[in-house]
Amino acid sequence: MATMTAAQRRAEAKAEYDTYLSTCKSRRLLDRLSDKWVTLVLCALAEDDMRYSELARKIAGVSQKMLTQTLRTLERDGLVIRRVTPSVPVQVEYAITQLGQSLVEVVYELKRWAEGHMDDVETAQGRYDRRNASRG
Amino acid sequence: MATMTAAQRRAEAKAEYDTYLSTCKSRRLLDRLSDKWVTLVLCALAEDDMRYSELARKIAGVSQKMLTQTLRTLERDGLVIRRVTPSVPVQVEYAITQLGQSLVEVVYELKRWAEGHMDDVETAQGRYDRRNASRG
DNA sequence: CAGGATCCGTTCAGATACTG
DNA sequence: CAGTATCTGAACGGATCCTG
């Protein structure tokens, strides 16, 4: 298939790049944090250990599919611990690990930046939108 | 429609929650950062001002649609500046703003955490996977 | 109570083609 | 060079039903 050379080149470059991204620690961390619910769960558990249903109530907008999925990956990452008490209706409690706690500190950094600067961002957005209102 | 009461309740709660999330500064910041290319572009521009094509080459895996889209939102957010030089082939240069620079600092914090702890995460993942290999 | 499994709509992001 | 516009497959996330 000599006609596909160009496309193949691009595909290869893409594959290389994907490999790079998947081995990039920062990238992998951001992928985690961007999982819409991860930070919410982490911050909730940073305050106190919680049971599944407590988390579901506390976070309030999450579907149980997403909550379960989030908790699984967090457990797999060693960021939270899952403790099962084999009582009659089983009782599951989630707690944050040391590793998770150290990550929450960084998340708080983010939060601080957000509290301090998102107003500026909003202002900038308003300016931008007004400037581009004339030119549709 | 009395039969929809339950669903309506949930929909309302959901709407309320969405409103809350959309006004939550931290949430909005995370939504930005999680946009796969935002941090790459920001970090690239933190090193040096760059033209569109330079960015495209530097970042190497991005489609020009995504690059443009990313640059637009960053500009709108006041995180980067776009300067057009009306030469014959127009020349566009992008630079980071002070606001953007201050955000990059936080991103570096994330990066530091990643460099320091992602190994632990990886180890945890290995443990988790091995433990769950028996029970499929 | 704490999930697993499934279906399904929306959104995202890449490829492609075209423009000033 | 620096984009814009459109189409489409894949992934995400929610709703729903079911189980130990």
Lowest mean pLDDT among A16-20, A76-80, B6-10: B6-10
Full-model pTM: 0.86
Which residue is the nearest neighbor of C1, CA to C1'?
A89
Q: Which sequence spans correspond to the domains of chain A?
A: 31-131
pLDDT at position A32 is: 86
What is the pLDDT of chain B when averaged over all its residues? 86
Tens-digit pLDDT profile for residues A84-123? 999 988 999 999 999 999 999 999 999 999 999 999 999 9
Tens-digit pLDDT profile for residues A27-50? 889 888 888 889 999 999 999 999
Cα B124 to Cα A67, A75, A80, A114, B129, distances in angstroms: 20, 9, 11, 30, 9
User: Residues of A with CB below 8 A from B20's CB?
Assistant: 61
SS3 B95: strand
Q: Is A78 close to B111, i.e. CB distance below 8 A?
A: no
Query: Residue B11's pLDDT band (boundaries 50, 70, 90)?
Result: low
Tokens of A101: 């706690």
For residues A104 and A46, what is the distance between their CA atoms, to the nearest angstrom? 7
Q: Nearest nucleotide to B56 by CA–C1' distance?
A: D2
* Strand C atom within 7 Å of A52 CB: yes
For range B117-132, the mean pLDDT? 94
What is the pLDDT of chain A when averaged over all its residues? 86
CATH class (in words) of the domain with range B31-131: mainly alpha
Q: Is A60 left (phi over 0), alpha (psi -120 to 50) or beta?
A: left
pLDDT at position B94 is: 98
Tens-digit pLDDT profile for residues B79-112? 999 999 989 889 999 999 999 999 999 999 999 9
For residues A10 and B114, what is the distance between their CA atoms, to the nearest angstrom? 29
Q: Nearest nucleotide to A36 by CA–C1' distance?
A: D13
Task: Please report where in the chains the tokens 């320091």 appear, as a residue.
Answer: B116
The set of strand D positions with any atom below 7 Å of a protein CB reads: 1-6, 12-17, 20
